[in-house]
Copies of this chain bind each other. A is one copy, B any other.
Amino acid sequence: MSGTVYLVGAGPGASDLLTVRAVRLLSEADVVFHDALVHPDTLALAARAEKIPVGKRCGKHSTAQRFINKRLADAARGHKVVVRLKGGDPMLFGRAHEELSYLRAQGVRVEVVPGVTAAAAASAEIGISLTRRGAARTVAFVTPRVGRGERESTWIACVLAADTAAIYMGAGEAEAIAAALIRAGKPASTPVALVEDASLPGTSAQYATLGELPRLATRGAPTLILLGEVYREALLEAALFQRLRASQRL
């Protein structure tokens, strides 16, 4: 018996933002390996599957990844439908490459099911497009590496070159991110939107300038930092609302 491993995008969080194909595969799955961040409602769609959390502990990446690779291949030898569920889209910051390479080298059939990425969900949530005709035609998707020296600063160059940037996995590093971008020449006045838990009931959005970004309070939820001129209007509105509230004690 030899099954297929499906690398499936779980989308941003809300279980109705999974694709129809993802839901079907979850319902058929014998085993589901999932990241720690996948929502319980989403896991519940895999009614008959054994569910195995494989969240990686910080600082132990390579060992954990080798272990996951091997478990996926083993599962495919004993089951027909093995789902590897990853937050967002598997091919964008989903570390799919290592699993794909290993499974192919082992002769295991593998298919990828794309998902809705966090930047799309956050943009839908706040109702502001990443692009705008005539104003924003380029978007950078990056993960920051702060304080790692020149060799690791391509994320900064990429953010500087793009009209709009979506910074993934930057939560907890807002201060270092803002400092690095401003030092590299991004104006401190650049508008920023910070979106937490996009698509989930407790979602929140805050607007600030890049210079003010470190002062925003976050809850430690999955966070996306968006920056660019497309957020200018929302920033001005938020600032106006705050001034009104302060003056009128709303």
The chain A residues found within 8 Å of chain B, CB to CB, are 9, 11-12, 14-21, 23-24, 61, 89-98, 100, 110-117, 119-121, 123-125, 127-133, 137-143, 145, 154-155, 157-158, 160-163, 199, 230
Known pairs A97-B230, A161-B161 / 16 extra A-B pairs, C-beta < 8 Å: A9-B120, A16-B19, A17-B20, A20-B20, A90-B129, A92-B139, A95-B129, A95-B133, A96-B129, A100-B127, A112-B124, A114-B121, A115-B120, A137-B154, A138-B140, A154-B161
Known: A113-B124, A120-B114. A131 touches B92 (CB 8 A): yes
What is the bound-complex CA distance between A137 and B92, given in angstroms?
A: 9
Q: With A93-B131, A139-B141 known to touch, is A21 a contact of B12 (CB < 8 Å)? A: no
SS of A interface (majority): mixed
Q: How far is the CA of A242 from the CA of B23 in the complex (A)?
A: 39
Residues of B within 8 A of A97 (CB): 128-129, 131-133, 230
Max chain B Cβ within 10 angstroms of own Cβ: one of A94, A125, A130, A230: A130
CB distance from A162 to the nearest CB of B (A): 5
Q: Is the CB of B117 within 8 A of A120?
A: yes
Inter-subunit contact B11/A16 (CB<8 Å): no
| B113 & A138 in contact (Cβ 8 Å cutoff) | no
Interface centre among A16, A114, A157 (most CB of B within 10 A): A114
